[in-house]
Amino acid sequence: MLLFVTRRVGTMALTMIVVSILLFILLELTPGNVATKVLGPYSSEEQRRLWLEAHGYFDPIHIRYFRWLGDFIIGNFGESTRFKVPVGDVLWPRLWNTAILGFAVMVVVVPLSLTLGVLAGMKEGSKLDRSISVGSIVFTSIPEFASAVLLSAIFVFYLGLLPGTSGMASGFDLAQLVLPVMVLVLYDFGYVARMTRASMAEVMLTNYIRTAVLKGLPYRSVILKHALRNALIAPFTVIMLQINWLLSGVIVVEFFFAYKGFGALLLEASLNQDIFLIEACAMVAVFVAVGTQFAADVGYTYLNPRIRFS
């Protein structure tokens, strides 16, 4: 187990390093661009040269990369040109807001999609199974921005029940969280439900379930005691990997509802060419994605005794 975990941590670190190199090449390869982005398009040639010199941009590229990486690891991300404050000052509060949103989504998605998936997978090919499957296809086909528009047309325009923006201008407001959560849930639950269904359907065909049914156990206890325990291992991984999707989804949802979160921040940084903020956001996003994947792998091996650590 220890060897397995160490190896996974190693791969994770290597991935992060390659990602950082990619980002560095994409954004910082030409120092002239960096200076223009930091100082603005109206800065003079002389100003840019002085800035580049002061920040060591005339050093060879590998020295620049390692210095950049070192700063990154100790949390020194540089200054945001958009917000005129250190990147960390805007990044962490925004990330916290997104964590709240993501947590709320998970609280709804996990029970909902597991229940639907188990119900559909219990009797493969039944009417309930078909309707749950088709229903989940329909919901995954509606992109987040479309459901955001459609749901706000219904709940904000026609019914007037919910606020249309989620800026949280006057403190935290649960009502403002409802629509963003709803949009993300609608897009995400279908996939998890289908994966749970597949896993459940597979378990229902195994011999030990057949034995349990044949020895006359009540159907309820076959499902609850024997099937569920094994059927829910695979969806665990799927749910962990959903977090990667969620990070994409929050960009759209936070942009639409003006929610002050990480996704909106990344978009704002990109649109304004706020180079250090883009770098920090991208690294955080990848770190979260790789980290959850790691947690998913370790958790899966832990939950599934059949997998041996090789």
* Per-residue buried b or exposed e for 1-22, using 16+ beta carbons within 10 Å of the residue's own CB: eeeeeeebeeebeebbeebbee
Which residue among 129, 282, 296, 297 contacts another protein (CB under 8 A)? Answer: 282
Give the count of residues interacting with another protein (CB under 8 A).
50
Q: Which is nearer to another protein, 236 or 256 (CB)?
A: 256
Dig out the tokens for 30 from the structure: 């030409």
Per-residue x/- track, 153-172, another protein (CB under 8 A): x--xx------x--------
Our finding on whether 13 is near another protein (CB under 8 A) is no
C-alpha closest to that of 135 among 118, 154, 120, 155: 120
Asked if residues 186 and 252 have their Cβ atoms less than 8 Å apart, the reply is: no
CA atoms of 218 and 213, how far apart (whole Å): 7
Our finding on whether 36 is near another protein (CB under 8 A) is no
- For residue 44, the 8-state DSSP code is -
Which residue among 113, 133, 230, 242 contacts another protein (CB under 8 A)? Answer: 133
Alpha-carbon dihedral 260, 262, 266, 267, rounded to 10 degrees: -40
Which residue among 255, 259, 277, 297 contacts another protein (CB under 8 A)? Answer: 255
Q: Which is nearer to another protein, 18 or 307 (CB)?
A: 18
Which residue among 52, 168, 267, 295 contacts another protein (CB under 8 A)? Answer: 267
Candidate segments 12-20, 80-88, 107-115, 212-220, binder of another protein by CB under 8 A: 12-20
Candidate segments 51-59, 196-204, 214-222, 252-260, binder of another protein by CB under 8 A: 252-260
Amino acid code (one letter) for 109: V
CA atoms of 192 and 236, how far apart (whole Å): 9
Candidate segments 112-120, 168-176, 213-221, 264-272, binder of another protein by CB under 8 A: 264-272
Our finding on whether 278 is near another protein (CB under 8 A) is yes
Give the chain's length: 310
C-alpha closest to that of 236 among 309, 190, 136, 303: 303
Per-residue x/- track, 215-244, another protein (CB under 8 A): -----------------------------x
The least distance separating another protein from the CB of residue 11, rounded to whole angstroms, comes to: 8
Dig out the tokens for 25 from the structure: 């090449």
Our finding on whether 152 is near another protein (CB under 8 A) is yes
Region of 2 please: left (phi>0), alpha (psi -120 to 50) or beta: alpha
CA atoms of 83 and 280, how far apart (whole Å): 14
Candidate segments 16-24, 57-65, 93-101, 203-211, binder of another protein by CB under 8 A: 16-24
Sign of torsion over alpha carbons 252, 253, 258, 259: negative
List of residues contacting another protein (CB under 8 A): 11, 14-15, 18-19, 22-23, 26-27, 133-134, 137-138, 140-147, 149-150, 152-153, 156-157, 164, 244-245, 247-249, 251-252, 255-256, 266-267, 270-271, 273, 278, 281-282, 285-286, 289-290, 293
